[in-house]
Amino acid sequence: MRFTKVGALATAALFVFTACSGTPGASGGGADKGSIEVWSSLPRQGSSKAQTDTIVNAINMALEEHGNKAGGYTIVYKDVDDSTAAAGKWDEATEIKNANDAVANDKLVAYIGTFNSGAAKLSIPILCAKGIVMVSPANTNVGLTKTFNAGEPDVYYPGGCKKNYTRVVPADDLQGGAGALWSSQLGAKNVYVLDDTEVYGKGIADVYAKKAPDNGLKVLGRDGIDGKASDYKALAEKIKATNPDLVYYGGITQNNAGQLWRDLRDAMPDVKLMGPDGIAESEFIQAAGAAAEGSYVTSGAISPDQLTGKGAEFIKKYNTKFPAAAPEVYTAYGYEAAQVVLAAIERASAKNPKDTLALRALLLDEVKGTKDFDGVLGKWSFDAAGDTSLTEMTGLIVTSGEFKFDKIIK
């Protein structure tokens, strides 16, 4: 997405850790080269907070596990907020401010973010101009790395600046198609498609609608919703009149998905409801209440309870350290993003950059050149566009008020 500030830096939490080694979880020594900064920019207010709390927890775990140095540098981590209390979600002006503050800081070398794809489209050009690498734990909009809408992704790199964006989660061209395939496998023939009109939501709904005919689905209608509407009763009645087997919503929890679900369920008690990883968070279930039960949710992220090997070990450690903040869909992806950055700092430092700005340039190449990374998500690589080689799509069903793994969609 994800799968959502004025004064953000004033309230940002500051953590100082050290890290080292080019492999996850390793530690080492070396001459003291001074301090550098790594920031994350995530929505820390509103209904995304529960999700991003776990991402920040995971980033801190990665830093702590690396000890005191990364390539001889002391790592200063800032947890920066790109949301506002008024919006209750990410905010354009605040994300732009975060990115501008980042490029003005000569000690900053990496930006873990964003959470929302719309935020990434704003910060990529700003950070690119100064060669600051981005590693997103959650963005899935196709156009960030591939041609989707006209001019993408080059439009985000003004003046031909060196592409600086990567993500550790698969894009929506895979997830939207997986949603259409799963809808067909569930027996649906006629579907109605909704979106929240934001970059992420409209993008994934577009992919779903495009892939629907290939999976034997007829799209009965398509609407964008007003995320601030008091209710969607009229829309629900309009959809009911078309007699769909399934209603698909492309969007995030923060755009009133809970109210939408309640109104759809009231109008059509037996219709199947499906959404993407933008609603794969505990806040969605709380917002939708009983209407969430039985909902189908796709995710490009592997469900925490389905991680194996190093991933399962991480979840066990996480639960021990943070018993009151259960891991969410993107928790492990925040950890992986941090590990990628730390390993790349180690490799870049070995090339003896003369200063932090030189390190920044080397780090961009090292992150984008990540190959066969053996982390909590398995072994994977970044391609030339900055996309992960991971392609697995997960199907979840809300059961007894929780997201339960149902299947790998294929």
Domain 172-299 in this protein, CATH class: alpha beta
Q: What is the per-residue pLDDT for 1?
A: 54
pLDDT of amino acid 3: 32
Q: Cα-flanking dihedrals φ and ψ of residue 70, to 5°?
A: -125, 110
Query: For the chain, what is the mean pLDDT?
Result: 93
Q: Which residues of the chain have pLDDT under 70?
A: 1-30, 68
How much is the pTM? 0.86
- The type of residue at 263 is D
Residue 302's contacts (CB-CB under 8 Å, 6 or more residues apart) are: 311, 332, 377, 392, 394
Question: In the structure encoding, which two tokens stand for residue 354, read together?
Answer: 């003369």
Tell the CATH superfamily of the 8-170+310-380 domain.
Response regulator (3.40.50.2300)
Task: Evaluate whether 8-170+310-380 and 172-299 have a shared fold.
Answer: yes
| Nearby residues of 316 by Cβ (< 8 Å), 6 or more positions away | none
Centre a 10 Å sphere on the Cβ of residue 92 and count the other Cβ atoms it contains: 14
pLDDT of residue 30: 56
Are 90 and 121 contacting, i.e. CB atoms less than 8 angstroms apart?
no
Residues 142/143/149/151 CA torsion (nearest 10 deg): -150
Can you give the residue ranges of every domain in the chain? Answer: 8-170+310-380, 172-299
Q: For residues 89 and 16, is the Cβ–Cβ distance under 8 A?
A: no
Residue 258 to residue 6: CA distance in whole angstroms:
27
- CA separation for the pair 213, 321 (Å, rounded): 47
